[in-house]
Amino acid sequence: MTLAAPAEAVGTGQAPDKAAGAAAPSASARGIVGAFETRPGRVLLILSVWAMICLGAMVLLFVVWRLTPPGTLGSVTPNDFSAFWAAGRMALEAGPVATLNPATLAPVQLYEPATGGREHYFPFLYPPAWLVTSLPLGALSYAVAYPLFVVLSFLGFMAACTLIAPPGALARRRTTFAMLAGGALLMFAQVYAGQLTLLWTAALIASLALAERGRPVAAGLVLGLCSIKPTLCLLLPIAVIASGDRRYIASASVSVILVAALPTLWTGPEYWSAWLGALAEQSDRAGNNIESLRGMLSWYAVLRDLGIDQPAATAMHALVTLTAAVAVGIAWWRAGIPFAARAGLLLIAIPFASPYAWYYELAVVFAGMLYLGRAGWGRSPVSWVLFLIVWALGGFLPFLSSIIEFRYLMAPLVTVAFIAALAQTGLIGQRAARLLG
């Protein structure tokens, strides 16, 4: 089986997704993406992009302004990027293994707002490749490194989303995908978190685009970069193997080995054993502290909050992971499923399957929705509500966690998105496809 898909099916019909120069189907036939390609839709996109850029700039300026003094040790924003920056700075001073030790890393992340001192600690739980990548960030002052990382992540994600458009698509259509990403208020949560998810998703989209364009070796090499965030990689081997393309499988395997081995030459093999120990400690810490699961969107977090003990919740969530794995395997193995539909299913299934998916993983779900939209998804009211919740509200819901139980909303939301992806691939019945398609 080759990775390049047959002509794109739109929804449950058979109208092809037109390339450059061909007559395009109507906006209503193309679902969500088509609606935003109309004149009113493009005006809304322009306004949304402008609002997101202004809002993001205000947030970054506020963050830099309140650092006291700017860029010095002990002056960071309490978010995930503080772990990247602190690890990059401390790795050269105290050694790579020291970055996994809370006693070493926590003092660098001490956040002291003007209103009074308050300690926050974000652990660094990444393999050697991301530690090596964090070294240049740690060499900069925090006041420079944080905005730089956020802007590059934002632009990289927008650029990657242009690749979601079908091969040969007009530049106008590629721009629509970029603007849908850039104008999503979902990005506000990414600015706040300073997480790796946007860059990770961009790498996965690039790999999928190369695979679709008949370049499986390059696709596999890029896919190996995704191994820097292992918690989101559960389903990637299944999709690659199910595709049946030996070149994709081989190049991805080689890339994963190189991404792991080359940085280990600097960190030393002892980093891996220390990393596994830190992962186990963090898993126990998170599993036994329900409050620490507040920002998660997985069913595991819901089950734990309902009082189910950690082993039972883990076992029950394994059924969710198995369901996602089977669906992805069938979609990537079965011939005749449009590439955009199977790519959308993979992206949405990734956070659905992961027990430790956090609120910023909604960016992966959103990218999956863009793929589904390319395949014609978004003709039912339910699909529009689902899309708009993620696109417009996903960036703010995490900040309402003190008012609402975030996970009780997001776990069902991601589940509905997963079912919608199943409908778009034809793995479930026509009735669900009409309701969610």
In this prediction, residue 283 carries a pLDDT of: 75
Residues 6+ apart with CB under 8 A from 222: 203, 206, 207, 210, 255
Residues 6+ apart with CB under 8 A from 210: 216, 218, 219, 222
In this prediction, residue 61 carries a pLDDT of: 79
Provide the 10 A C-beta neighbour count for residue 392: 14
CA–CA dist 353, 398 (Å, integer) = 20
- What confidence tier does 82 reach under pLDDT thresholds 50, 70, 90? confident
**Whether pLDDT at 160 is above 90:** yes
Listed residue (147, 230, 233, 159) closest to 194, CA to CA: 147
**Whether pLDDT at 12 is above 50:** no
Mean pLDDT of all residues in 79-103: 88
3-state secondary structure of 22: coil
CA–CA dist 369, 383 (Å, integer) = 10
CA–CA dist 60, 402 (Å, integer) = 23
In this prediction, residue 188 carries a pLDDT of: 82
- Where is pLDDT greater, at 297 or 237? 237
- What confidence tier does 402 reach under pLDDT thresholds 50, 70, 90? low
In this prediction, residue 75 carries a pLDDT of: 67
Q: How far is CA 245 from the centre of its chain?
A: 25
| End-to-end C-alpha distance for the chain, whole angstroms | 27
CA–CA dist 56, 64 (Å, integer) = 12
In this prediction, residue 187 carries a pLDDT of: 85
**Which of 25-29, 194-198, 298-302, 343-347 has the weakest average pLDDT?**
25-29
**Which of 149-153, 164-168, 185-189, 338-342 has the weakest average pLDDT?**
185-189
In this prediction, residue 333 carries a pLDDT of: 94
**Which of 237-241, 259-263, 345-349, 392-396 has the weakest average pLDDT?**
392-396
**Whether pLDDT at 91 is above 50:** yes
In this prediction, residue 292 carries a pLDDT of: 63
**Whether pLDDT at 21 is above 50:** no
**Whether pLDDT at 233 is above 80:** yes
Give the CB-side neighbour count of residue 347, counting CA atoms within 13 A: 31
Q: Which spans in 213-309 are helix H?
A: 216-223, 236-243, 246-267, 270-287, 299-305
Mean pLDDT of all residues in 408-413: 86
In this prediction, residue 133 carries a pLDDT of: 94
Number of H helices and number of E strands within the chain? 20, 0
3-state secondary structure of 118: strand
Nearest 10 degrees: Cα torsion 172, 176, 179, 180: 180
Q: How far is CA 158 from CA 91, 133, 162, 171, 378, in A?
A: 31, 21, 7, 14, 21
- Where is pLDDT greater, at 379 or 11? 379
The percentage of residues in the chain with a pLDDT greater than 70, rounded to a whole number, is 83
In this prediction, residue 278 carries a pLDDT of: 86
CA–CA dist 270, 340 (Å, integer) = 41
Averaged pLDDT score across all residues of the chain: 83
**Whether pLDDT at 290 is above 50:** yes
**Which of 60-69, 204-213, 241-250, 327-336 has the weakest average pLDDT?**
60-69
**Whether pLDDT at 118 is above 60:** no
In this prediction, residue 2 carries a pLDDT of: 54
In this prediction, residue 80 carries a pLDDT of: 87
In this prediction, residue 96 carries a pLDDT of: 92
- What confidence tier does 15 reach under pLDDT thresholds 50, 70, 90? very low
**Whether pLDDT at 67 is above 50:** yes
Q: What's 111's DSSP letter?
A: B
**Whether pLDDT at 366 is above 70:** yes
CA–CA dist 98, 5 (Å, integer) = 47
In this prediction, residue 304 carries a pLDDT of: 85
CA–CA dist 258, 76 (Å, integer) = 33
**Whether pLDDT at 117 is above 80:** no
**Which of 19-28, 51-60, 205-214, 234-243 has the weakest average pLDDT?**
19-28
**Which of 68-77, 194-203, 211-220 has the weakest average pLDDT?**
68-77
In this prediction, residue 379 carries a pLDDT of: 84
Mean pLDDT of all residues in 414-422: 93
